[in-house]
Amino acid sequence: MRRSSDGALRFVSSNRHKYDEALPVLRGLGVRVEYERARLQEVQSDDLAVIVRAKARDAYCRLGRPVIVEDDGLFVEALSGFPGAYSSHALRTIGVAGVLKLLGGNGDRRAKFSAAIAYDDGSEGRTFVASVRGMISEAPRGEKSWGYDPVFVPDGQDKTFAEMGPDQKIGTSHRTRALEAFAEWYVG
């Protein structure tokens, strides 16, 4: 088990939702983690792993202690993978409605949600990427939600992430899969 000096890793993000969903997963796998709010430098790349590695370096340099950071992307097949690594920008600009509009009546609704988790402790850096495949719904569904939750239906489910309770979403999400891969390495 790799441990920081006071025992808790810092999960660095400006998005508290990510931490709220990561905490029960990491805790359940024996990883102590605390939230550190920060807006990290984001390099331009089509590759989530490249982006998240640079973010983790930035986070470590700011905090001087072991960190994990996360970067996600929604890759829509019929849009050649858009918005992908630009998902955050797309959400801020055209929004979920804009992505649905781009898809229009396209019968091919396949997509994947990917999460990249990077660890950095100053001497060692590791990256873990995982995805969940699913469909983009015809219209937003579900109330308590954030980001693309109202339009993503993971394979094998009939609900969008936004229609699920927290446990069901955490049980099926891209984030959980990437965190599990991280924890397997970290806890050893």
The correct pick among 11, 60, 148, 186 for binding ligand IMP (CB under 6 A) is: 148
Q: Per-residue contact track with ligand IMP, 64 to 103, x per CB under 6 A?
A: ------xxxx-------------xx--x------------
Rounded Cα distance between 152 and 105, Å, is: 16
Check if the beta carbon of residue 176 is closer than 8 Å to that of residue 166.
no
> Does 173 help bind ligand IMP (rule: CB under 6 A)?
yes
Looking at the chain, how many residues does it have?
Answer: 188
- Catalytic-residue membership of 47: no
> Does 58 help bind ligand IMP (rule: CB under 6 A)?
no
Longest dimension (CA), the chain: 54
> Minimum distance between the CB of residue 48 and ligand IMP, rounded to whole angstroms?
8
> Does 168 help bind ligand IMP (rule: CB under 6 A)?
no
- Which residues are 71's β-sheet partners? 116
> Does 35 help bind ligand IMP (rule: CB under 6 A)?
no
Rounded Cα distance between 128 and 49, Å, is: 8
Q: Which residues are catalytic?
A: 71
